[in-house]
Amino acid sequence: MIATCHSAADELADTDRADVVRVLAGDVAAFEGIVRRWQGPLVNLAWRYCRDRGRAEEMAQEAFIRAWRGLAQWRREGSFSTWLFALAANVFRSELKRFPTINLPLEAAPEPSGPASQLNALQQKSRDEAIRRAVLALPLRYREPVILFYFHEMDLGRAARTMGLPEGTLKARLSRARALLRRRFPHLEAEQEAMEFSSRTTEKEA
């Protein structure tokens, strides 16, 4: 199974590399393949930053424009997807600085409902949304690592490369983010499965 996953990842990386070579050689249409493969993931990542579908699509489009203009700057020793996500994260970060989303301060974020009131899927969805709103209320330096690591499911190394940070720094920011959320919502410590804090931290930081 692992070998199959690696094979698929390698095949995707080879396809990206081939399309980049074609674009740089003058085949403009080859960039459409890159957009087709990565548009969904980039829009999803942008949405994690701004929580607005329309704006997320615009931010992802801007990221592709920047990628098109800077394609020659990709260094082949790293994967194209890591370079693309790092570029996109910078675009999204800059966009939010220019036009910030309106978020409640962390202290004012509504507390997720406890297990006793989770009677149906709607209540669970409401609780998850409250957690996400709390994450969005974190300062950007702590919010972004949580978005990449937990919500976008990047491993520690890739999240660190995307942000241009040493892994140790990213670990420290994730730890600080967890502490801030636990302080605001004490019962989350007993319910860390909501964001898979326990399992994923144990697995990835081991």
User: In 3D, which of 129, 106, 139 has the Cα closest to residue 194?
Assistant: 129
Rounded to an integer, the average pLDDT of 30-39 is 94
Contacts of 20 (CB under 8 A, 6+ apart): 30, 34, 71, 74, 80
37-82 residue pLDDT tens: 999 999 999 988 888 889 999 999 999 999 999 999 998 878 899 9
Taking CA atoms, 177 is separated from 37, 86, 137, in Å, by 31, 21, 11
Q: What residue ranges define each of the domains in the chain, with the CATH number in brackets?
A: 2-98 (1.10.1740.10), 106-205 (1.10.10.10)
DSSP assignment of 132-192 equals: HHHHHTS-HHHHHHHIIIIIS---HHHHHHHHT--HHHHHHHHHHHHHHHHHHSGGGGGGG
CA distance 196 to 185: 16
pLDDT digit string (tens) for 108-167?
Answer: 544 444 444 444 455 555 566 667 777 877 888 888 888 888 877 788 888 888 888 899
pLDDT number for residue 113: 46
Phi, psi dihedral angles at 9 (to 5 degrees): -65, -40
Q: How confident is the model at residue 206 (pLDDT cuts 50, 70, 90)?
A: very low
What does the pLDDT look like over 5-15, one tens digit per residue?
Answer: 557 778 888 99
Q: What is the pLDDT of residue 140?
A: 82
User: At residue 107, does pLDDT exceed 60?
Assistant: no
Helices 167-184/197-205 angle, 10° precision: 160
Tens digits of per-residue pLDDT, 70-84?
999 998 878 899 999
Give the dihedral sign, CA 142/145/148/149.
Answer: negative
User: What distance, in Å, lies between the first and last C-alpha atoms of the chain?
Assistant: 22
With contact defined as beta carbons under 8 Å apart, do 103 and 137 qualify? yes
pLDDT at 187 (0 to 100) = 62
In this prediction, residue 189 carries a pLDDT of 54
- Measured CA to CA, the distance from residue 123 to residue 137 in angstroms comes to 21
* Residue 199, pLDDT above cutoff 70: no
Report the predicted TM-score, pTM, of the whole model to 2 decimal places.
Answer: 0.61
pLDDT at 4: 53
